[in-house]
Structures are given as C-alpha cells and as structure tokens.
Amino acid sequence: MGKRIYLCLAHMSEAGLEQKYIKEAFDTNWVVPLGPNVNGFEADLEEFVNANDNDNLNKRVVALSSGTAAVHLGLLAAGVKAGDEVIVQSFTFCASSHPITYLGATPVFVDSERDSWNIDPDLMEEAIKDRIAKTGKKPAAIVPVALYGMPYQIDRIMEIANKYEIPVIEDAAEGFGSRWNGQVLGTFGKSGVLSFNGNKMITTSGGGALITANEDEWREIMMYATQYRESYPYYQHEKIGYNYRMSNICAGIGRGQMTVANDHIAHHKHVQELYEELLKDVRGIKVHGNPDSRYDSNFWLCTITIDPDIKIKGQENAYKTIVKGAVGGAAGVIHAATSAHTDCEPNDNVEALRVAMDEAGIEARPLWKPMHCQPVYRQGEVKSLELRVKSYNSPIICQTSASSVAYINGVSEELFKVGMCLPSGPYVSDEDVHFIVDTIKASIIQ
C-alpha cells in the first residue's frame, strides 16, 4: 500500500529543537516531572495565550500530564464535589465529561446550536433553570467545548454563567490558538484546558495544560497537580492531590513545538480554505466553516456534512461487518465489537464514504458521538420528558439516567449522523487535499 494520509500527525520543528531540549534534560539529569523545560514551556504558553488583540490578560499556565488531567483539576478548583451537577457540552470527546464522574458529580449534558456545533447558550440557560427548579441547587460548573477547534459562543456563555454565578471551565483541548473576537480560547472562563496529545495542534507526545485566571488560582492548581504537599521539611498533606505535573522530557518537546505553533495553525487554516474552495460546488457536501467574523477556528480537524440523500458507492454494504480492531489507529481498543450496529450511528452513506476513503489510503472519522447517546451515560432506567419553554423555539427532551442528565434539542445527534472529519494536519499537502476531494467526488453516485 502506498502513502497514507492521516487526520493529524505529530510534526516536529525543522530545526529539531524538540530533541535539543530533550537532550538538555538528559545532560543535566532533569528527568523528572519538573525542571527548566516545564518552566520554559509554561512561560511560552503564557506568552501565547496572553497575546490577544484586545488586552494583555496576565493568565498563568500549569503544564500537566494530559488534557484530561486539566479538565479534572479545573473542576476541582471550581469546587466541584460529589453530589454536584456540572453542565457540559454533549457533543464532545469523553474527556470533557469523564472527570465530572471521577469526582462523584453528575454530568448535565447540553446539546448544541447549529452555527458552531457547540453548546447552545439558550438551551444551557433553560437547563440551569430546570436544574434549579428540580433539585433546588444550581450546577457547580459549566464546560463548553471548542469542537474541532471551532469557538463556542463564549460571550453569551459568560453572560449566563455570570448571571447565575457559575464558574466556566473552557475545554479548548482541540482549540489551541482559536480565537473569539480576537481573544484566545481558554482565557475567558475561570480556567481553560489545553491538550498536547500526539494528534493535537502541537504535541508533547501526551500532555496538557490548565490556563488559570490569576496567581492565586495558579498556585492552587500547582498544589493539586503535585499531591497537594504543604511547605514543611517533611511530607504534610491537608488536601488530596494528584500526580499530574508534566514531565521535563515531554515539556522539552513542547518548547520545540511552540516555535512552530503558529505555522501549524496557519497550515490547518490553509487546508480548510482549500477544502472550502474545492468542495463548494459538490452537491450535498458542506464544509463546516467559521459562521461569522467573531469566530476564528484553528481548524484542528476540518469537517464536512453529507446530505442523507447523497448516494455513495458501496453504501448497501455499510455496517455489514463487525469491526475487529481499532478504526483509525486508536490506542487501547482491544475488544472486538459485539455487533455491527448501535442505536445511534452515522448514516450508511457516511460509513460508506469512510470505507472508500480508507481503501484509498485516507484516514477519515465520524464526528464525536454525543455523550448523551453513550451507553456509559445511559445507565439504569432512562427516562425522557418533553419540556416546552416559551423562550426556546423547539421542544427540549430532558433525559435522565443513573449516570447523567441531558437537555437535548436533536442537533448533535443529527450532525453525528451526517458528519465526518477530514485530514488537516501539518503533513497534509495541497496535493493530498486535491486527492481527498477527488476521492470524495469519485465515491458519489451521480
């Protein structure tokens, strides 16, 4: 088989700075989860997130072992505890919501709006009001997510969050360098999550960071990330902490990557533009772009939707075989699936297109399956109640189960059925984009 085109592969600086910083760590024996590379990477990240069109924000950053750890500590520092409820965007990767469950709290999933595909602020407010009415308690935090890098409507989200005095933890794991009205995502809320997993905008192989609002919050997160050890000559602990600090080796990769971060972002935006241009006249295929000038997505992954009436070659064979291993190289998938279908899956034409692309050597992937459709969040008896609220223009389904609550307007499920992620990383050339678009066109039955 020839060359394969992947969604987003790690890409190191031409100058090899990542290896230089790693070598320094070895040469000076800083092979620990602290040290000059960790401090240097945090300083670089602070410079990056504070460089806004409007303002210098003086945000502080803590480098952590993963983006999931950053979500966990963001929730903890916002005071989330067992028995609380936390509002979180349903249309996301599981790491936005799993840490809510780690803390013994309950995720309250909120569906998306159509422009950005991210959390619907109006529905979010209805969810807050309904939770207060039903439980007598407001949600303890709000977690919006920049899906595939696209900004969420953070001004509306902050307005509502401030009205009800609920802290916001921005999950900008996929949105490194995306901006809303010129301001970097992750800098609006109480804290902001970044991920440097191998497939992200920049990588530290695995890693993440939490952007904190000020010096005091930074200190608190630093304590939580390092086992919450008090300053005594011996180990004194007054709170439960975690071992979440980034390794000085990984941070060396991060320092090198920061020298190419803006190039990476520019490349992803260029690939997006090319998809928009080349697919603009293809009937039934729509590229998801910035809805208006307030949005400035990093286009971590470029995404398309495929109309249900578009026929794809081989569609009659979609979902005929049970998947044996990981589709798309996901690590740790060691179970074979037990069935070819689940109760909520992409349309047959989307699956057929994914298979056609795979056969042509192109990695494509369905959108994230909404969390309110995931079996893990539908445990025990699942009840659905229809709510009609004057200020919201369609019926809202309130779904409750033993493991979550959800406020559903149907948008994320609909998008999940028609959507697809396309390759967009630093190794995706113009020629590759032409080939991908040609493959899509050739797969459509006219």
Ligand X SMILES: Cc1ncc(COP(=O)(O)O)c(C=O)c1O
Q: Give the whole-angstrom CA distance, residue 338 versus residue 326.
A: 14
- Least distance from ligand X to the Cβ atom of residue 175, Å: 8
Does 210 bind ligand X (CB under 6 A)? Our answer is no
Q: Which of 42, 111, 130, 171 binds ligand X (CB under 6 A)?
A: 171
Does 191 bind ligand X (CB under 6 A)? Our answer is no
Q: Which of 40, 121, 167, 208 binds ligand X (CB under 6 A)?
A: 208
3-state secondary structure 25-74: HHHCCCCCCCCHHHHHHHHHHHHHHHCCCCCCCCCEEEEECCHHHHHHHH
The contact mask relative to ligand X for 56-85 (x = CB under 6 A, - = no) is ----------xxx--x--------------
Does 197 bind ligand X (CB under 6 A)? Our answer is yes
**Residue placing its CB nearer to ligand X in the complex, 253 or 285:** 253
Query: Under 8 Å CB-to-CB from 335, ≥6 apart: which residues?
Result: none
Does 183 bind ligand X (CB under 6 A)? Our answer is no
Scanning 170-178, 210-218, 222-230, 392-400 for contacts with ligand X by CB under 6 A, the matching segment is 170-178
Torsion angle, CA of 143/148/149/152, rounded to 10 degrees? -40
**Residue placing its CB nearer to ligand X in the complex, 318 or 421:** 421
Does 421 bind ligand X (CB under 6 A)? Our answer is no
**Residue placing its CB nearer to ligand X in the complex, 67 or 177:** 67
Torsion angle, CA of 184/188/193/196, rounded to 10 degrees? 10
Which of 406, 416, 402 lies closest to 347, judged by CA? Answer: 416
Does 170 bind ligand X (CB under 6 A)? Our answer is no
DSSP secondary structure, 312-369, as one string: BTTGGGTT-S---S-TTS-TT--SPPS-S--SS---HHHHHHHHHHHHTTB--BPPPP
Burial of 445 (C-beta count, 10 Å sphere; 0-12/13-18/19+): exposed
Q: Give the whole-angstrom CA distance, residue 33 versus residue 46.
A: 19
Does 187 bind ligand X (CB under 6 A)? Our answer is no
Token look-up 């959390």 returns: 119
Scanning 93-101, 107-115, 209-217, 246-254 for contacts with ligand X by CB under 6 A, the matching segment is 93-101
Q: Give the whole-angstrom CA distance, residue 93 versus residue 96.
A: 6
- Least distance from ligand X to the Cβ atom of residue 363, Å: 16
- Least distance from ligand X to the Cβ atom of residue 235, Å: 27
Binding residues with ligand X: total (CB under 6 A): 15
**Residue placing its CB nearer to ligand X in the complex, 221 or 310:** 221
Q: Which of 37, 96, 257, 424 binds ligand X (CB under 6 A)?
A: 96
Q: Give the whole-angstrom CA distance, residue 7 versus residue 319.
A: 22
- Least distance from ligand X to the Cβ atom of residue 133, Å: 30
Query: Under 8 Å CB-to-CB from 97, ≥6 apart: which residues?
Result: 88, 107, 109, 143, 371, 377, 404
**Number of CB atoms found within 10 A of residue 233's CB:** 5
Residues within window 322-351 making contact with ligand X, judged by CB under 6 A: none
**Residue placing its CB nearer to ligand X in the complex, 210 or 285:** 210
Scanning 35-43, 152-160, 166-174, 405-413 for contacts with ligand X by CB under 6 A, the matching segment is 166-174
Does 93 bind ligand X (CB under 6 A)? Our answer is yes
Does 142 bind ligand X (CB under 6 A)? Our answer is no
**Residue placing its CB nearer to ligand X in the complex, 26 or 102:** 102
Scanning 92-100, 154-162, 262-270, 382-390 for contacts with ligand X by CB under 6 A, the matching segment is 92-100
Q: Give the whole-angstrom CA distance, residue 119 versus residue 161.
A: 13
Residue ranges that bind ligand X, judged by CB under 6 A: 66-68, 71, 92-93, 95-96, 145, 171, 173-174, 195, 197, 208
